[in-house]
Amino acid sequence: MKPLTWSQIAEWSGGLLLQGTPAETVAALSTDTRSLKGGELFVALKGEKFDAHEFLEQALQAPAPLAGMLLHDLPVETESFRGAIVRVKDTLSGLQHLARHYRRELGIPIVGITGSSGKTSTKDLVRGVLAQRWRVLATKGNLNNHIGVPLTLLSMDATTEAGVVEMGMNHSGEIEVLAEIAAPDGAIITNVGVAHIENLGSREAIALEKGMLAEAIEPGGWVILPAQDDFTESIRARCRAEVLTGGVETGDVQARNLEIGWDGVKFDLSFGGESVPSFIPVPAEHMVRNATLAAAAGLRMGLSLSEAAAGLSQIELTGGRLQRKTVAGIAFIDDSYNANPESVKAALRTLRQLPVAGRRIAVLGRMAELGDHALEQHVLVGRAAAENGIDILVGIGEEGAQLASGAAGAVDTHVFADQAQVAAFLREHAAGEDLVLLKGSRSARMETVLSYLNEGI
């Protein structure tokens, strides 16, 4: 964070400076008492299940004194505090307003990214492309919600020359709020799928919500859309900014002549009659589609096609996404970070396309937030496993049985009660030349299969 005076923080957060010197500055912010090092502005957030005001004693015991606090209550612990105190009506709203003003003070280009799947991977790709020319700060981990977006913006400092902000949602109205806070100059929508359909009810409603990011881009900005998504044209019609599309063998920015291998995918990146050889170090066709979106963003920000291709070749994906691992002598594609029907089907296609001497084994956990569509979508994913020639499908619990029913008769299916039983099955049945895909929603905790294998359970 750039140094901000306490008078700026009070004004921008919509609060009142109760104590502290208005002209003094602070250059760090935290919302977590467990990571305080001293010298920060501590924002005491209140959620449905927690209230950081109850942990102010821990905050005040940080290794070095806090610079100040943003509060909406004044617990007894604040009586002895000698740092600055800014009081607001609501600390979450105060944090968001602070970030909104701060973003405009930064004066740097910011790219906003949303979509039903592929947001984080596309963020990583965009960061790699833009890093060819600028010092880039991008969303870390899963800080993509009403708290994470403000924290991402406030983590940008005087060295940041461009920002990449991932925006997630699971309820109507959330993207509009995040876009208003971040005020991106350009936007990428990766796709419109059925993730979070439990809360929004239909793909049409999801497209309406995701498209709010595109609507937020002012004339003179740009919007990048997937050429192969059936909602692209309806979102394009809502845009005031220039629109480019990206895709495999289609769109304004295209990837052509794909060659998929264990080290990644070689392809020709094409735009406007020009074509350059490209490579992404991820063995997945759907990542190539995301790469065209990232390249399009780079082109619209002034990079050459060669610079965009160079950036794509150097990307590092956030953990738990299509990582090759060998555990207990078993080869894995660890894609366990999260899952929805579109991303699981894409991972199954990747498993089909990779050269494998042995069997292709898919170990799939539940897909969350599907509501009344859960049974249908799990069955359809099981059917996709069969269509992609998967040899063995392993599921867990009720949703695992639904996956198995979709693949019945075409795939050798196994359903277990928990991850420990899955690990035991793999230890006994997976051979050295087999390849195992591991994927499921965050709540499924599919990475624990690897932990059980490591621990010999």
Closest CA to 103 of 213, 216, 1: 1
329 shares its domain with 392:
yes
Distance CA 420, CA 452 (A): 6
- Core vs surface per residue 141-171: b (16+ CB within 10 A) or e: eebbbbbbbbbbbbbbeeebbbbbbbbbbee
CATH code of residue 71: 3.40.1390.10
117 shares its domain with 211:
yes
Contact 89, 159 (CB under 8 A): no
85 shares its domain with 175:
no
402 shares its domain with 273:
no
329 shares its domain with 420:
yes
173 shares its domain with 40:
no
135 shares its domain with 58:
no
Residue 98: DSSP 8-state: H
The answer to the question of residue 318 being in a domain is no
Look at 191-195, 270-274, 348-352, 374-378 and tell me which has the smallest mean pLDDT.
191-195
Provide the 3-class DSSP secondary structure of residue 363.
strand
What's the pLDDT tens digit per position in 170-224?
Answer: 888 999 999 999 999 999 999 998 776 777 788 899 999 999 999 999 999 999 9
In this structure, what are the phi and psi dihedrals at residue 39, rounded to the nearest 5 degrees? 85, 5
| CA atoms within a 13 Å half-sphere pointing along the CA-CB vector of 378 | 27
CATH code of residue 417: 3.90.190.20
The residue ranking higher by pLDDT, 306 or 38, is: 306
181 shares its domain with 286:
yes
The answer to the question of residue 308 being in a domain is yes
182 shares its domain with 305:
yes
Q: What percent of the chain has pLDDT over 70?
A: 99
Last residue of a domain, one of 27, 61, 95: 95
The predicted structure's pLDDT at residue 337:
86
pTM for this one? 0.88
Structural domain including 357 reads: 323-455
pLDDT band for 388, please (50, 70, 90 cuts).
Answer: very high
The predicted structure's pLDDT at residue 338:
87
The answer to the question of residue 359 being in a domain is yes
**Count of domains in the chain?**
3
Structure-token match 């291998």, residue found: 261
Distance CA 368, CA 440 (A): 9
What's the pLDDT tens digit per position in 4-47?
Answer: 999 999 999 999 999 999 999 999 999 998 888 889 999 999 98
Task: State the Cα angle at 350 between 360 and 286, rounded to 5°.
Answer: 165
- Round to the nearest angstrom and report the end-to-end CA distance of the chain: 45
What's the pLDDT tens digit per position in 224-242?
Answer: 999 999 999 999 999 999 9
Residue 433: DSSP 8-state: T
Residue 50: DSSP 8-state: -
Computed over every residue of the chain, the mean pLDDT equals: 93
89 shares its domain with 217:
no
Residue 317: DSSP 8-state: P
Provide the 3-class DSSP secondary structure of residue 143.
coil
Last residue of a domain, one of 71, 95, 119: 95
